[in-house]
Amino acid sequence: MKKVSLFTLIIFFAGIFQSCVNNNNPHHKGKNPHTSSKPDTTTHYPQEKHLKNVKQLTFGGDNAEAYFSFDDSMIVFQAKNPEWGAQCDQIYYFRFSDGDMKDTIPTILSEGLGRTTCSYFLPGDTTVLYASTRSGSDACPPEPKKRSDGKYVWPIYQDFDIYVANLKGEIVDTLVKNPGYDAEATVSPQGDKIVFTSDRSGDLELYICDIDGSNVHQVTNQLGYDGGAFFSPDGKQLVFRSSRPQTPEEIKEYKDLLKEGLVAPTEMEIYVCNVDGSNLRQVTHLGKANWAPFFAPDGKRIIFSSNHAGKRGFEFNLYMINVDGTGLERITYDHVFDAFPMFSYDGKKLIFSSNRNNGGTHNTNLFIADWVE
């Protein structure tokens, strides 16, 4: 899941696939990469036939990883917004009955302590789990310095543990605590299991535990970063992103970065397996960065974000593909960034993050739409 600001991600991919970031990069100038000098004000592109009644929910900052409550009446998400007092990612929740967040700051759950990520409602919709570095420090941890080799990396903060908070923001449990990185947790639709990513084995692997944090089992065991996992609607499968190094050079680079508490996410594909790790198979073979996967309500398709078709590296859009890797279909048509899709539990809504209609700024906002088959 998200490890750095979305602006950093966009700028990086512009550099990787377009050359170095420079004054010729229109996003670097604070404008979306359109031929017109006027900022784009589109919230719904005409090609987006699967989306209807698109509504913008946030209006500034970096907003991402919004996930529905079990009754679909709320979302929990992470945001970096100085106007809300969030200098690094913090966890908020929002009730749809409140309209949108244009004039109202949503309720913060993470208390402004440390850096947080990957929040998710637990059964009953009265508590939320999320990962935080708060055990290491109340302050936001530093982001990696620009590397001399120019490589873009995500930090794997060793202070990340997984906590449970009520809707007042009070910590009621430490769900997963282990020396090293524990984060990226999501909950089965059946409400009985949690999947998360950990480096406790010496590599970044997926783990399953019971809803109370007990009975932890390792799911994946191949070298490479496995993360951002979600359950299928029936709770029997997992979909996740993975960077699997193959050549001796790739393997050495991956291991060297991991020793520094870093991982490079520039080449990732989508994988599926059973919850016990069996029947593992690669779904996408598109190249570049394919990530943020989520099962469609029918459990037979996966929606995800990819820049594989972009002429500029930062052009991420949503795509859908069958679990067997066939039937690739483009879903969104933003010129910069669409990612982090999630379907509501009733299958009627899709929520996602996008750089559309940001007034030519670098803001990434939340959008919700009716899903049309």
pLDDT: which is higher, 277 or 310: 277
Q: What is the mean pLDDT of the chain?
A: 90
The mean per-residue pLDDT over the stretch 314-340 comes to 96
| 221-255 exposure pattern, b = at least 16 Cβ within 10 A, e = fewer | eebbbbbbbbbbbebebbbbbbbbbeeeebeeebe
pLDDT: which is higher, 208 or 19: 208
pLDDT: which is higher, 27 or 145: 145
In percent, how much of the chain has pLDDT > 90?
84
pTM: 0.91
Instruction: Provide φ and ψ at 279, rounded to 5°.
Output: 55, 45
Lowest mean pLDDT among 150-154, 178-182, 324-328: 150-154
Residue 8 banded pLDDT, cuts 50, 70, 90? low
Q: How many CA atoms lie within 13 A of 131 on its CB side?
A: 28
How far apart are alpha carbons 341 and 338 in whole angstroms?
8
Check which CATH number belongs to the domain holding 124 and give it.
2.120.10.30
pLDDT of residue 11: 43
Give the chain's domain count: 1
Residue 26 has pLDDT above 60, yes or no: no
pLDDT of residue 4: 46
Residues 208-233: tens digit of each pLDDT: 999 999 999 999 999 999 999 999 99
Domain carrying residue 292: 6-371
Sheet containing 237-243: order of strands: 225-231, 237-243, 269-274, 281-282
- In a domain, residue 356? The reply is yes
pLDDT of residue 58: 98
In angstroms, the first-to-last Cα distance of the chain is 27
- In a domain, residue 32? The reply is yes
- In a domain, residue 282? The reply is yes
The mean per-residue pLDDT over the stretch 136-158 comes to 91
The mean per-residue pLDDT over the stretch 90-101 comes to 97
pLDDT of residue 37: 55
- In a domain, residue 286? The reply is yes
Q: The tokens of 4 are what?
A: 């750095």
Instruction: Provide φ and ψ at 128, rounded to 5°.
Output: -135, 140
Residue 74 banded pLDDT, cuts 50, 70, 90? very high
How does DSSP assign 181-197, residue by residue?
-EEEEEE-TTSSEEEEE
Residue 111 banded pLDDT, cuts 50, 70, 90? very high
pLDDT of residue 39: 76
pLDDT of residue 159: 97
- In a domain, residue 1? The reply is no
Residue 327 has pLDDT above 60, yes or no: yes
pLDDT: which is higher, 2 or 264: 264
Residues 253-295: tens digit of each pLDDT: 999 999 999 999 889 999 999 999 999 999 999 999 999 999 9
pLDDT of residue 311: 83
pLDDT: which is higher, 11 or 142: 142
Residue 69 has pLDDT above 60, yes or no: yes
In percent, how much of the chain has pLDDT > 70?
90
pLDDT of residue 152: 86
pLDDT of residue 2: 52
How far apart are alpha carbons 282 and 302 in whole angstroms?
12
